[in-house]
Amino acid sequence: MNSSLSLLQQNVFGRLSSIKNAKILVVGDVGIDQYVTGGVKRISPEAPVPVVEVKDEFFRLGLSTNVAQNIKSLGGSPILLSVIGADDGGGQLQKLLQESEISTDFLITDKDRPTTRKIRVMSGMHHIVRVDYEEKKPLQSKLQLQILDQIKKHSDQFEGVILQDYAKGVLSKDLNLEITALCKKLKKPVFADPNERSPLLSYENVTLMTPNLKEAVALAKWDRDPEDLSDSEVHELGREIQSKIKSDYMIITRSKEGMTLFEDQRIIDVPTFARQVYDVTGAGDTVISALAMALISGFSLEEACIFANFAAGVVVAKVGSATCNLEEIRQSMNSY
């Protein structure tokens, strides 16, 4: 580690106690991950498929709710604004949020679409089948207006907004642009975790966008294998995207290569601080949450990146979509 990065790391370590109870609005698709586990002892006589004898069944919050959980675990106050169905999945999702002490006051019910629910049938570590309940269609215009109305009415309750895009219909180009324009008037930052299936200009004028390298290549429509890009080509890619969307900052997350951040005329590569990698599921959720928390708490972009990298390093050492807290980050930084 170079000396300037080491000094920044020391600064971040010393400022962990200044991470404040940031109030962050999270807008995006929500859903439930349902797991059905059991053993397989025979093949079905009806078809050549395994018969799973169910031993356990449990539910986890998924999609944008995991961002809200990350904000909560880091000491912030998430406000979750999204759309659920008038179904059992919607009721289960609200119950899980309440158990996690995350408000359900800003969830809008749409009787015409199901709550996204993914059922994973597992036998040991073997994934037998996944069943998805969802409709990937844009929201009706009246629901988009409801979302904007909620933001206008309750703008005094949040300090920044995360647009968490899973391309399942809650966010659209028009809605993203409306939210970003509104927040600019309110002088509140907008952080976007993009989806490669959404148009690049959906994220125009956001404060910060955080694609991973694969998403960045797809958003820029480069016909290249992300794994083949050199550092200089990643820098070129980032500059091209940042120029098109006119964002203040941009960060490309690069897995084991860490992050590359773009600020004004500066391009800085920040290494990963992960010691062990068991599961990268949800690491992007942790990164966007940690970045938003740090920037709202007054960290510089480079300091926020170091904080987010350590947070991601803690999470990928756990199995499944996980969260981390400030004490875990403090311990990880102290031992690095």
> What are the residue ranges of helices labelled H in 78-130?
88-99
3-state secondary structure of 285: helix
Nearest to 318 by CA among 290, 285, 281: 281
φ/ψ bin of 246: left (φ > 0), alpha (ψ from -120 to 50), beta (otherwise): left
Q: Find the catalytic residue in 33, 165, 193, 285.
A: 285
**CA 210 vs CA 37, 101, 176, 219, 305: distances in Å:** 34, 27, 15, 12, 11
157 SS3 class: helix
End-to-end CA distance of the chain: 11
Q: Which residues pair with 57 in a beta bridge?
A: 36
Helices of type H across 189-259: 213-219, 231-245
Instruction: Give the whole-angstrom CA distance, residue 262 versus residue 226.
Output: 18
Task: Tell me how far apart the alpha carbons of residues 86 and 79 are, in angstroms, rounded to a whole number.
Answer: 21
Helix axes 326-335, 301-315, angle to 10 degrees: 100
Active-site residue flag, 279: no
Contact (CB, 8 A) for 239 and 262: yes
Would you name the residues annotated as active-site residues?
285
